[in-house]
Amino acid sequence: MKTLITGGLGQIGSHIAEMMLKRGDEVLVIDNLATGRREHLPDHPRLQVVLDTIADRNLVNQLFEEFKPDAVVHAAASYKDPDDWYSDTITNCVGGANVVDAAKRFSTQRFIYFQTSLCYGLKPQEQPITLKHPRQPEGSSYAISKTTNELYLELSGIDYVTFRLANVVGPRNVAGPLPIFYQRLKDGKKCFVTNSRRDFVFVKDLAQTVLKACDGVGRGAYHFSSGSDVPISELYDAVVKAMDLPDYPQPDIRELGPDDVASILLDPSRTFKDFGPISFTPIQETVTAAISYYKKHGTLGEYTHLRFKEQKS
């Protein structure tokens, strides 16, 4: 199989690329290095790496015409700053539309997309959230722009799978509470946790499922979720344990921010039905793998699309 992976040097894209190369596929990745790293994918005879932006329509068309991918895995996304609407729209909307349009015009067989669970809004109407829940992405620029691209994909008529994601964590994770907890604890700073809950899933578990989707399993929208959530405090405790700190640093407990959600628990029943059972990696094993990565490579900025500016102070 020949697969084009956008954002192929980021957390999700690079793990998928590694697994594809291991099984003998040809892979072309494009990444602008906003949150990806070149060292995530060593040189390989079946790997091509393009350091550029999917917002360049001519470049995207050229890559599709020359490489002729059988499948596209669209993992590129802008999410570093909740107020950077320009980058969100350029990458997630314009760039995403370029990739969808090229896949359509060059007859790509499969298109895999990743959607944020924030597409259901800041106050979901049901728990767990089913695929019938209306999309209400107006709570954040990230959700608006990601949902826009998902709608273009649905409009295109391409054979696609879109995974609406729980919190994907593990090695190479640069956004969300995991890298923030690690960096602050490493620097001797106090952390805070809210009374929210999340479903944390291991990036390699997702990557293995994506390979099945590229091979033809599934059609349409799915939730990639374990079906259960845990308090953010449990993730914090797992980070403390993985860092093997001599004393337990007591975190501050804070109320939810205006753009945060108490719980985003997705119903994965359709995923389990079509893709089969998934053995989800335990959270402590997931966090330990991530901490090992951070100790070697650093955290690359601890980004969040929530407006908790003080957590970086």
Specify whether 141 is located in the same domain as 71: yes
pLDDT at 312: 40
Same domain, 208 and 246: no
Confidence (pLDDT) at 309: 43
Cα–Cα–Cα angle for 162, 168, 171, nearest 5°? 130
Local confidence band at 256 (pLDDT 50, 70, 90 cut-offs):
confident
Report the range of poorest mean pLDDT among 133-137, 176-180, 200-204. 176-180
Asked if the model's pLDDT at residue 20 lies above 70, the reply is yes
Would strands 110-116 and 71-74 be described as parallel, antiparallel, or unpaired?
A: parallel
Indicate the pLDDT class of residue 227, thresholds 50, 70 and 90: very high
The pLDDT tens digits for 64-77 are 999 999 999 999 99
By residue range, what is the domain housing residue 192?
Answer: 177-198+227-264+279-312
Asked if 245 and 231 sit in the same domain, the reply is: yes
Q: What total number of domains does the chain contain?
A: 2
Could you tell me if 137 and 252 lie in one domain? no
Q: Indicate if 206 and 300 belong to the same structural domain.
A: no
pLDDT digits 0-9 by tens, 104-132: 999 999 999 999 999 999 889 999 999 99
The rounded percent of the chain whose pLDDT value lies above 90 is 87
How far is the C-alpha of 135 from the C-alpha of 129, rounded, in Å? Answer: 11
Residue 271 lies in a domain: no
Q: Which two tokens stand for residue 131?
A: 């695929």
Examine residue 76 and state whether it is found in any structural domain, yes or no: yes
Is 273 within a domain? no
Q: Is residue 269 part of a domain?
A: no
Q: What is the mean pLDDT of residues 172-189?
A: 93
Q: For the domain that residue 47 is a member of, what is the CATH number?
A: 3.40.50.720
Q: What is the pTM of this model?
A: 0.93
Same domain, 294 and 165: no
Task: Taking residues 214-232, report their average pLDDT.
Answer: 97
Element (H, E) at 19: helix 11-22
- Look at residue 302 and tell me whether its pLDDT is greater than 80: no
Is 124:133 a contact under the CB 8 Å cutoff? yes
What's the mean pLDDT when you consider all of the chain?
Answer: 94
Distances 213 to 76, 110, 122, 133, 231 between C-alpha atoms, Å: 18, 8, 29, 23, 30
**Amino acid 313: pLDDT:** 40
Whether residue 310 is predicted with pLDDT greater than 50 in this model: the reply is no
pLDDT at site 222: 98
Cα separation, 55 vs 203, whole angstroms: 26
Half-sphere exposure (Cβ direction) of 282: Cα atoms closer than 13 Å? 4
24 part of a folded domain: yes
Are 155 and 285 part of one and the same domain?
no
Residue 182 lies in a domain: yes
Question: What are the tens digits of pLDDT across the range 263-289?
Answer: 889 999 999 999 999 999 999 999 999
pLDDT at position 32 is 97
Quick one: what percent of the chain has pLDDT higher than 70?
96
Would you say residue 144 has pLDDT above 80?
Answer: yes
